[in-house]
Structure 1
């Protein structure tokens, strides 16, 4: 761990309470909430219970002069706490402990917290946009949007928090916007953007150019992989094109554009002829080979399979009904902290849920996990 630890970064967050009413330090409440979520706690009562069960251990790291705060106090403080400050502290901590390598794929995608929807208060579900390091499988930062359509405005805010120089930033079609491409370039990184109907002229240019037989032409830069299992065979093919003239005048609208990419996935089931063929188009400011294009496009989906899936299955994020004030957003960030902590531990070869259970019952293991956060 280089630089400042997590708790030092969190110490810059201002306490929203009236100081003469404060019975429990903000640092103690934040620390308790983080370690309880690492230990599998899913709600305020469970966080309080975790604190009561581990009070002597907690006092090795914080004051807890007045014992463990009750769940109502924890809920109230987490609702009042500035979500923006917490997210900035998180991103600053990740800048300190994660050094991006040249060409590293940073996947950006959004996730809706389904149970955060509150019909009675006419409050829409919380939608978080996250940046995920595909190689290291850690969250680098996140911001909240009002809904999925606002990812376009949230992504530049998220990029501003990140240190991504030299990286390849991958974003799905929602983020295929000129302003976002320019923001990535301004941060010293390259973009790989999926193209769909929200950029109709781009999509039309690809459609007019592409034919499946192009994958077979020896003079084209193409690449393929094949995987078989469970009665299915999936073939993935990619084509990297550096002749930008097929875009016409559109080429001048995208900053530093160098590569056009086409990726096809062909699935055969039970020896039957392929019926399911998916073709995706990409634009990139990086000069990518067909192999690099296929690997980067596949790496993008790690944010779904490695992050979003584990948040739902391991931490039951979609079942969480916490939504008062800024509490839902803050708990989403704390789950990302817990995710990074548990992913960072390699001493116990197990899935997310098993690691959480061990952390809950084994204080020595929990201390080991915390060491990875720079907490000692």
Structure 2
């Protein structure tokens, strides 16, 4: 772990550098893996684990104080920190691969500061659903600026051969072109932010749905899932763009091959709901494959955003000064990747985190699981 972040520059004045930068970073990461929520937890973790930590860290000056952790993470350049995180993640992805990559935004609700007029931090993240890894994140000023942040996030990733799924906010012709030009494919949600195109697609599918798509080339897949006291039926129809009448500005969507309709019917104990959703895609007309990619998109909500809130209590965190909110959010994502890569203990991430807090050997197992991937792959330079 020390090698991964060795290129981060120490923002402190040289005469004030009592504690090594790498020590502060490593203790901070270990604390978050063990369930730490902030600076006091980092100090307490260091004090509690002092005898163990001094076996591999130079703790001649003891454990850094909570204020030392706070001041450092307020001042570390988050872009450099993110680049070094990318170096680590990219090496893992080169080893295990990443197929479907959902991209979505999340607001850190507790990071606002009403007195300073500072709004909550909003991040756009890329997530590997198949391997449960955070691939990258970009800070945005507010939710409306996701359109600006998504291209910046895509630039950080090696997209070749992957399938990128994005909700309606990112359904833009420029984003589709960027993905296609990077030799990747896209599945983009089509909603009311493209009113003319959405209405055309909706009307055409409604008309041909009732006739059973008679005489129209299409692909169909159906899945039924049961669990959590509900039954969900998902039906997927995929139709090549050539089978539809000329759509509004369809030529602007580089690589567009098919239009997809997904119908979800959920039977709950007290009600039944029906939802219809449309998608634009550069993939071939294969309803089964497209249905799986669309289903995996929800992994970024269930396995990333929900886990960050439940396991790491992210929304309740009131850290909000300097670069600290963004850097601490990155620590959480590093910790989440580490917990997900460790597969020997078949429990929830919360239970893994609790065990890591109590069992030093298991903490080493977690680090070994992620660093073995890093050490097996070539190391791109951290700028």
If the TM-score is normalised by the length of the shorter chain, which range does it land in? Answer: over 0.9
Distance 1:108 1:252 in 2: 24
Other-structure match for 1:261: 260
Distance 1:9 1:232, change over 3 A: closer
Matches within 5 A, 1:71-150: 71-99=66-94, 104-150=99-145
Other-structure match for 1:252: 251
- Which structure 2 residue ranges, 5 or more long, are not aligned? 376-383
Structure 1 residue aligned with 2:304, among 291, 304, 307? Answer: 307
Other-structure match for 1:367: 364
**Alignment length (residue pairs):** 369
Other-structure match for 2:332: 335
1:247 Cα deviation (Å)? 4.1
Other-structure match for 2:161: 166
Alpha carbons 1:100, 1:164 under 8 Å: kept? no
Other-structure match for 1:3: none
Distance 1:361 1:178, change over 3 A: same
Distance 1:365 1:187 in 2: 40
Distance 1:216 1:287 in 2: 18
Distance 1:353 1:101, change over 3 A: closer
Alpha carbons 1:102, 1:167 under 8 Å: kept? no
**Aligned-partner SS, 2:361:** helix
Distance 2:231 2:211 in 1: 21
Alpha carbons 2:104, 2:166 under 8 Å: kept? yes
1:57 Cα deviation (Å)? 2.0
Asked whether 1:61 is paired with 2:56, we answer: yes
Distance 1:196 1:100 in 2: 36
Q: TM-score, normalization: structure 1?
A: 0.93
Structure 1 residue aligned with 2:24, among 29, 37, 57? Answer: 29
Cα deviation code 1:243-281 (max 9, x no counterpart): 344343522101111111111111234597x5x211111
Cα deviation code 1:160-202 (max 9, x no counterpart): 1112210000000000011111221232211110011111222
With 160-169 and 213-222 compared, the bigger mean Cα shift is at 213-222
Distance 1:304 1:326 in 2: 25
**Aligned-partner SS, 2:332:** helix
Distance 1:263 1:26, change over 3 A: same
Asked whether 1:344 is paired with 2:320, we answer: no
With 177-186 and 43-52 compared, the bigger mean Cα shift is at 177-186
Q: State the Cα RMSD in Å.
A: 2.1
Distance 1:9 1:230, change over 3 A: closer
Q: TM-score, normalization: structure 2?
A: 0.91
With 283-292 and 226-235 compared, the bigger mean Cα shift is at 226-235
1:63 Cα deviation (Å)? 2.0
Asked whether 1:184 is paired with 2:175, we answer: no
- Which structure 1 residue ranges, 5 or more long, are not aligned? 1-5
Distance 1:38 1:103, change over 3 A: closer
Other-structure match for 1:208: 203
Other-structure match for 1:240: 238
Distance 2:117 2:246 in 1: 44
Alpha carbons 1:205, 1:246 under 8 Å: kept? no
Structure 2 residue aligned with 1:223, among 221, 224, 239? Answer: 221
Distance 1:26 1:175 in 2: 38
**Aligned-partner SS, 1:181:** helix
Distance 1:187 1:356 in 2: 37
Asked whether 1:17 is paired with 2:1, we answer: no
**Aligned-partner SS, 2:145:** helix
**Aligned-partner SS, 2:340:** helix
Asked whether 1:47 is paired with 2:46, we answer: no
Distance 2:156 2:110 in 1: 27
